[in-house]
Structure 1
């Protein structure tokens, strides 16, 4: 019949439109969020007065449509319908209360879902179509009661009655709904492809970011190691200069520890507790000497680096002149959040020698009193109470982040107690050992050589290249080795292979730290994170060869 032919032709044309839609979006994915373009395409297949797009909470409207607040209500109403199916109605009031208020703009709709969770839609709207319906009889005609009971007057029962129908649109036909299902399949195919591409791009971007961060961390740690090496190797025999070098070296090491902590989570917030533990581990044997009180708090990187220096100076001064300089002394460090979200941190010493204000204001005092106000916009107050130093800091809330877990702070990289500082130098650890150090920076190599010598090594041989290291192994077999992973444009893995063949114990060193990725045959090897310190080298060697009897 002619009607059937028209339906077949209509549905064929709609399939062609669906193919055009797929091809166009494949070349320009932004078209999917363009309601004007979508409206032109879709209304060629299904007559509509307006189009609304709702994807991931983002919206766009084109043509004659409800207002945004009403569109949100419609989407919530659609979420109560069957998932994954085209929904059509000529009366939006079936799913949204008070739909009459916008019936002039949209009385009916056809919703094409293009996802499941969250539910995203392309919605076609039709305006209100006010029309009269002629009934054979008034349904509201009252029943009359006569001598024989209730009855309807035969003459008037089927008199023509007209009813005005409002808040309804022209209904969507079965053929239009089938076309909508075809369009839905096309749109879902596009959305899924775009989602896969977006996911792949995010993964690639994340991998690139991790690579860049790892490279930056590596360079920063190497620079810190180079600076420490320059300072230590440049010191003369004068005791006063040696003390100065020790102070500067300690400050650089405090920054290095803070850098390690905040880069563990890709330059993200780090726990205050870990900062305190790291500084305490460098100076105090008994962990009960520094008592902490407060809930888990995470500092953003800038605040973390600032507070690392402040806490380092507080611990250093206390270890020299305050409560930590005597066996009975103790430090209590507590913190809490104010109603406005700021962090109040209190340092209180007790049980130490009598305290008096310093006669000369040194650089350490300047760091304690001015770093938080100057760098973070907070406040700092230090009171030299004779019973013990009392310091109060206030860090603005913008420098804080919410803890990722309420179970407690993550474990730190500096467990207590550790071999090395602050214990007496284990100068017999490498007694009788011939050490091979492979490092491509002369200054850092000299620093590492100095550490190995202080640990009691009989001989220390340094090499800067793979070939030089292999020649040294052949000429004078070492008993233990430490290999910098990156040697310019090469790695030390060939050296590691040779040492493994000879059963010579060795460990790796790198500025990448835990982000280093050795080949499978060397996974699980000990890795020393640069910059080198007596503490981390001694700790690693203790795990590798143990302390001498």
Structure 2
């Protein structure tokens, strides 16, 4: 029995595997290494000028060796399941093409399009981005964005389309060609953009329809050996759902483009472009549009966050004034009732009220007093002790229908556990007339064959009057309510415990909202602590790795707390006390010598991490690991206002420079230059480690703290186990991104050292200094090949392997028997090839 056709079917349409592409380009799908062709679009042979069936052929046999090599190198630079790499103006045997290449589910998908008139997208992107940069208002950004895309890209109509909380959409910005009807301000039902389409729009942020008559070029074969269709989620040429094309034709649209607007990782809306005739936007201009969409999203997110922050800042001032009065008022009931007018300013509302100890006090537009006990019981039954809000109170609490004009929206803040006391914010009924682009209640109808839905044909404005509801409460409103609850509960507890006389707690309560807002940042640190998955260095236990990582995060947390409680930074002496204080008590001496020094926020966090690493290493391996050791720490301010800092260890075990610097060493040596623009130098002297740092003047200033000079000791942690030695590997690769990727692979495979060279001369110098255990040689170096070095390695008895992005060994001279691996690199294959070269298959 056939499944009935309804909106659920439409929501499950597999639009990511349409089995076809649009006709303005062609597509080739190969294996993961972009070697053998597995599937093609039906027009590929004709467009690429290739003869015979393409399936089963090698890629280079169809488009040429150099073109295949360039595509494989491009694929090396992209992540699996991510955005495509672009190769503009690629010369193939069949002509020049703009190429997009990406990998998905073990398949390399390569798309070819005729090159456009503007091969470089940067100019177009700068045209668009430069004209919205610096706009300080959300509405202005939306209207300016629509006008710019219309002017630069030339579509007949450009709309900014915002998704509402219920899934429907509203056109909030529009620019159109004269003569076209306006959709500005209209709402469109959620069913117009099904769920799976929204999910795809979040993953692939730009989509085009070149012709809504929907000419489809089939992918052959349709299914692979496992019976799976080709996933085109990230393909530029992906064919479009026939239902969507029919929907666009019903609107009088012949071509379209949509750019996703993503805010805080969620699909906020779309930049929707419509055109009255078929149109192909070249790849370069699409890339410019995509870049603009990303910048537009970031700018919009910034303005939304700024608006929220401004509201939170004003709320904080109001709450601070209230908390200031609380320190002088012993009666919490009287305090709240006397300050209803002040608390009303915390968020936009029409009225406020307090239900406490069975008594009601209200201000502004509120329910009648006799209705409050029933409202409090309704909130108690639904809120579970938390902040609770509704903008449709008469729909959820029928008794509220009697006063819907005065209070259709309510936000309730619990003040106690037993009995239930509440602080209420109210909003009046908001009667609106919504203009819909068609009746949202009218369901799509089955098509002539009954096997799919027919999109609606009418886009005439349908008006709906909405009543018995208020303006919705925003996330910012709820956050302010949570901060208010925390402050109020603290006041209630203070008064109930008769602690009025402790004025020292007043300052803590006055900063309650700061702590509440600061809670978000601490959550971020907690997420970092739980999600960081940096591999542990070989030879270290998991417990040691976790302890090291936790210590680093704890150092950051300490710095964050100090900054939050201070005035945008902290003193150097506070950091030193926090990091070296635990090591007092067993004789190892620590001496501090320097003037009071204040570090601004960023420098405080960077120094917290760096000092933690120095102290931990000293306790494990250095001067703090033995009773006779000492650490001398000195700093001074230069004439230019910069701070010079010296860490000197003496009396510890003999220092041996690390054979391979770890993550902690990288933090010590690189954090100050990278993050602060300063200088770092670490000397591994046999008698003790010495570290010299320079912090630029903009990050430091004089502090009022006293000079310190003390000598604490510590209980020293056990030494971490030494990492076993691995292979010393020479990597000859002339492309930086590929080289970095291979370095990480080799390190993950246990290499002790990876020496990277980009030229023959550089590689020869490296071998002359010390012979590697094995070498990985890129065959083609752009200006020649690696064959001369291969011969020299053979003469020196050094094993090696070849790596090539070409499809054959044409560049490898006869007589070489070294293993050959293909690009893109694969860690498992790389490991096996090196093992084979060393005679350990």
Q: Which has the larger radius of gyration?
A: 1
Scaled by the length of structure 1, the TM-score of the pair is: 0.35
- Considering fraction of residues, name the structure with more helix: 1
Scaled by the length of structure 2, the TM-score of the pair is: 0.23
